[in-house]
Chain A
Amino acid sequence: MVTRIDRRMAKLKAEGRPALVTYFMSGDPDYDTALSIMKALPKAGADIIEMGMPFSDPMADGPAIQAAGLRALKGGQTLVKTLQMAADFRAGDNETPIVLMGYYNPIYIYGVDRFLKDAIASGIDGLIVVDLPPEMDEELCIPALKAGINFIRLATPTTDDKRLPKVLQNTSGFVYYVSMTGITGSALADTGKVAAAVKRIKGHTDLPVCVGFGVKTAEQARIIGANADGVVVGTAIVNAVANVLGPKGEKTADPAEAVATLVSGLSQGVRSARLAAAE
């Protein structure tokens, strides 16, 4: 089954440039604002959208994404509303792939079968569920693949060559290489090591490899994008939202505009990645 992710990745490959994968937190700081941010992403040059599903206990996330999730939950966000937001977005954009990213418990409580049915109806293309390693594939990964939704796995520096095949086995859409051990929002890893890791993973799979964790600027996006099929930016976007919120959560400027400005710059970074590499 060919998904929107597969089509988008093939198109970018033909264009000879990496994808810009942008993460935002659904419901941060409220439903309407988050939807306006989501709509602004493709216009500013994002190729794939990762939609954060807020969770009360985000064990793999740093302070920025933790805070964004809590703002969203405080604003009344639920998984039902996240799926609704995806559907609202889809009404105006049937091309940009949407990947839901988060933790398993809200999905488990929603009910896996019901979740997959509603996710497809809302135009979701892929899932990244941080706390479901391949050992737990029966929970959601296999049912998602059967339902036609990509299950995107994280590979990390601790995923050695022996373990990689297991991690890649049921992965589809793309592989998300987490460029360092640690939580989201940490400092960028050594770019030489990242390039070597991407090459190592590509030795095991034909899937596109996107790299995330620590990318904050257009320059970093350009450097990472020289070797990867995609560059994932999350914390920087979430921070762009936080920066225009006052102490009581009131908006001091338009969050969608702040995000669009950042993403436009990042987009230029990935668009010049291969040109720079060819020099």
Chain B
Amino acid sequence: MDQPATPNSFRTGPDEQGMFGIFGGRFVAETLMPLILDLERHWNEVKNDPDFKAELTNLSTHYAGRPSKLYFAEGLTKHLGGAKVYFKREDLNHTGSHKINNCLGQILLAKRMGKKRIIAETGAGQHGVAAATVAARFGFPCVVYMGATDVARQSPNVFRMKLLGAEVRPVTAGHGTLKDAMNEALRDWVTNVEDTYYLIGTAAGPHPYPELVRDFQSVIGIEARAQILEQEGRLPDTIIAAVGGGSNAIGLFHPFLDDKDVRIIGIEAGGRGLDGIEHCASMNAGAPGVLHGNRTYLLQNADGQILDGHSISAGLDYPGVGPEHSWLRDSGRVEYVPILDDEALEAFKLTTRVEGIIPALESAHAIAHAVKIVPAMDKDQIVIVNLSGRGDKDVHTVASMLGMEI
């Protein structure tokens, strides 16, 4: 196969059609097309609007608690005995994960567009909580679609969403996970086109969502880059983030893409191993296809039917990935490697013990890869891991994996 030529910059996408190479695009029903074009018009207006930026920065600072800290994980560094490990502490944000970054940006956009109602899909419930939070803050009614399996395994987040005034609609189709929730959210949107804003939680879906979600999440990488320069006087050697749909990862990666000496690694959910179908490693074990408005790597069979996949982490349990990651994979700029359920669980326990930080199971996948590579690195090297969220929501899942009852 032809490899795409190495571009001068990896940060120029998408093109006017919303494509990152062959990935991305606008594969949606005609009913939604005018809405997506309208969203794109508004997005193009606000993205360079100083007033919009000022309003978002103000909320990010005083409501969400940004900038998030770049924390030297001394305990983990000592334990591993190699490179210095830093955590980008997105777990300290309001609502407990990076998802608030995107939700604040999009709720301001929805407000500008004069929309009256918010819908969202959620896997782990982190995005659902963040969406319900901003909906409460700005006075929008909010409906969150969540797979029935996820409703069961993320009950603390379901309760939080309800407290925040959102209606949580469990989706029983398929395996009852993120993919099915997204189908149902799209069905709601196609029905309620007049007044509804679809607040997508990850850097996927039809153009312009992958771009706008990335831009709202890029605050992670912009801060991390400035913080490491301030704290260490140089750029990191390696940055690592977990990839489900890939919004925390693209947020960390994007500002570093043209720093060619920085090694960038995205972690996919390896589940119970890549031999069978019990994983969500679409870029390691899938093929390009079209789903949910974009072309990207997907887990699918020979007939083009989408597979359900599996991950211990509800937030990574998605058979696709944001289109920009697919492009970064094929262009060779970013490496994508799988981490198994068991490895993530070990990293979860280790981080809790040596750092006093309970990471989200999603983030534990990224930490697990650091655990693998850091010991072989020099002590003066630097690794930044995106600690995308806190793990309070996962204690029930972890307890049952460990055979405990709480």
Contact = CB atoms under 8 A, between A and B. Distances in A.
B305 A158 contact: no
B243 interface: no
B28 A131 contact: yes
B5 interface: no
A243 interface: no
Interface string A57-84: 1111010001000000100001110000
B187 A109 contact: no
A120 interface: no
Interface centre among B29, B287, B293, by most A CB within 10 Å?
Answer: B29
B30 A57 contact: no
B304 A60 contact: no
A135 B303 CA distance: 25
Contact of A132 (B27, B192, B306): B27
B186 A59 contact: yes
B305 A133 contact: no
Contacts of A167: 30
A153 B30 contact: yes
Given A130-B29, A136-B25, A60 B300 contact: no
Interface stretch (B31-39, B340-348, B375-383): B31-39
Contacts of B303: 78-80, 106, 109
B292 interface: yes
A60 B306 CA distance: 16
Interface string A110-154: 100000000000000000001111111000000000000000011
A132 to B, nearest CB: 7
A183 B303 CA distance: 24
Interface in A31-74: 55-60, 62, 66, 73
B44 interface: no
Contact of B29 (A59, A110, A186): A59
A56 B27 contact: no
Contact of A160 (B34, B187, B190, B298): B34
A183 B304 CA distance: 22
Given A131-B27, A156-B30, A56 B191 contact: no
Interface centre among A66, A73, A80, A158, by most B CB within 10 Å?
Answer: A158
Instruction: Provide the main secondary structure of the chain B interface.
Output: mixed
A158 B31 contact: yes
Contact of B183 (A59, A157, A158): A59
B152 interface: no
A104 B31 contact: no
B193 A55 contact: no
B1 interface: no
A165 interface: no
A140 B149 CA distance: 36
B30 A159 contact: yes
Interface string B284-328: 000101111101001010111110000000000000000000000
A254 B402 CA distance: 52
A219 B186 CA distance: 31
Contacts, number: 114
A4 B6 CA distance: 48
Contacts of B30: 133, 153-156, 158-159, 167, 178
Contact of A133 (B29, B193, B290): B29
Interface string B183-218: 100110011111000000000000000000000000
Contact of A57 (B26, B29, B179): B179
Interface in B50-73: none
A106 to B, nearest CB: 4
Contacts of A133: 26-30, 33
B173 interface: yes
B304 A106 contact: yes
Contacts of B293: 131
Contacts of A157: 31
A181 interface: yes
A133 B29 CA distance: 6
A108 B186 contact: no
A167 B31 CA distance: 11
B236 to A, nearest CB: 38
Interface in A212-234: none
B191 A109 contact: no
Interface string A79-112: 1100000000000000000000001111111100
Contacts of B34: 158-160, 163
Contacts of A131: 27-29, 290, 293
Given A59-B186, A136-B27, A105 B33 contact: no
A105 B291 contact: yes
B183 A57 contact: yes
Interface of B: 17, 25-35, 173-174, 179, 183, 186-187, 190-194, 287, 289-293, 295, 298, 300, 302-306
16 contacts: A55-B304, A56-B174, A57-B292, A59-B29, A60-B190, A79-B303, A105-B304, A108-B304, A136-B26, A154-B31, A156-B31, A157-B31, A159-B34, A163-B33, A178-B31, A181-B193
Q: Which 8 A-B pairs have the closest CB atoms?
A: A109-B304, A106-B304, A182-B191, A56-B305, A156-B31, A78-B303, A105-B304, A131-B27
Interface of A: 55-60, 62, 66, 73, 78-80, 103-110, 130-136, 153-160, 163, 167, 178, 181-183, 186
